[in-house]
Amino acid sequence: MHSKVIIVGSGPAGHTAAIYAARANLEPVMFEGMMAGGVAPGGQLTTTTEVENFPGFPEGITGSELTDKYREQSTRFGTKIETETIAKVDLSSRPFKLWREDAEDQDPDTCDTLIVATGATAKRLHIKGEDEYWQRGMSACAVCDGAAPLFRNKPLVVIGGGDSACEEATFLTKYASHVYIAVRRDVFRASNIMAKRAANHPKITVLWNTHVTEAKGNGKVLTQVELKDAKTGATRDLDVSGLFYAIGHTPNTAFLGGQLDTDETGYLVVQPGTSKTKIPGVFAAGDVQDKHYRQAITAAGSGCMAALDAEKYLEELEAEAQESGSKL
């Protein structure tokens, strides 16, 4: 199957790109993935309960409901969605080639432009009790979920020792009665300014040399976590209503096979102010190229950029083909 535009990924970046591309009559095809990156089609939003900071929903909306609306809008304008995962690609020449998972020995899908919107998966420790209390007191995004009623005026714990952990803990003090930071070593990995800001905050307590080993609750929501002292091995319970992971993200780029440039932490590199990668015709949008903001609204904006960049690229190809007497 050949397409003018193929979009890999189905979060807010991918669907915004699809909506713009479809309305431009580019007949985009989206590979939304089947549990790609360990999450359902729709991306990280599907792991979020209440979304209260996305414009247009004054009463809030669940992450799953929002992704369903994205999907409905994409298909309404003609996007063809394949619920399959792309396993590998060949970007060495155009048309670009993409192979579906479990079909790597078959003929590839091809496209003139490719938009990579595969996101970045939050790292989790998968401690005991996590499966039961995920989204019921456990999260990997304080900015997304911290203001939820479940966490307001309650004690919370953040796991991590870097800038993200310090930043998210400080953010949570706006809503929590108190915030603990569980750091597995006796020192922060964070920058000095971030570490001092967190350590000196009156509503933050740093738990040094501490591992969180279990999530406990009442069967409905999280109420405690089990802590283990990294030096003595002693354990104790801590009453909290929320646990937030802040141990980093893994950009979902393995299927690209190193064909696109990444930074030192694995995020795709784009030309500043654009969605363009080092390969003409290949664009990146959303969290796969954004290690700073990682919000649905910023991902959607970059998806728009990718679609517009792809449309302009196709127009340039068409103009070149007409000048040379051939057709794209």
Q: Output the six-digit token pair for 270.
A: 């784009």
* 144 has catalytic annotation: yes
Q: Where are the beta strands (DSSP E) in 44-196?
A: 50-51, 61-62, 80-82, 86-90, 96-100, 109-116, 120-122, 138-139, 155-159, 178-182
Secondary structure (3-state) at 13: helix
Q: What pLDDT shows up at residue 271?
A: 97
Does residue 145 register a pLDDT over 90?
no
Query: What stretch of H or E contains 146?
Result: none
Provide, rounded to the nearest whole percent, the portion of the chain with pLDDT above 90: 83
Query: Which position among 111, 141, 166, 309 bears the catalytic label?
Result: 141
Average pLDDT over residues 180-205: 95
Q: What pLDDT shows up at residue 111?
A: 98
Measured distance CA(210)–CA(286) in Å, rounded: 33
Q: Output the six-digit token pair for 76.
A: 């309404």
Burial of 239 (0-12, 13-18, 19+ CB in 10 A): exposed
Q: Output the six-digit token pair for 108.
A: 């590839």
Cβ atoms within 10 Å of 142's Cβ, excluding its own: 27
Q: What pLDDT shows up at residue 322?
A: 85
Measured distance CA(195)–CA(319) in Å, rounded: 54
Please state, in angstroms and as integers, the Cα–Cα distance from residue 57 to each residue in 43, 224, 229, 241, 286, following that order: 19, 32, 43, 26, 21
Average pLDDT over residues 29-54: 77
Query: Which position among 109, 111, 112, 145 bears the catalytic label?
Result: 145
* 166 has catalytic annotation: no
Is 5:28 a contact under the CB 8 Å cutoff? yes
pLDDT tens digits, 93-140: 999 999 999 999 999 999 999 999 999 988 999 999 999 999 899 999
Looking only at the bridges linking them, the beta strands covering 222-229 and 235-239 are antiparallel
Query: Which position among 109, 111, 112, 144 bears the catalytic label?
Result: 144
Is 248:158 a contact under the CB 8 Å cutoff? no
Name the pLDDT band for 46 (thresholds 50, 70, 90): confident
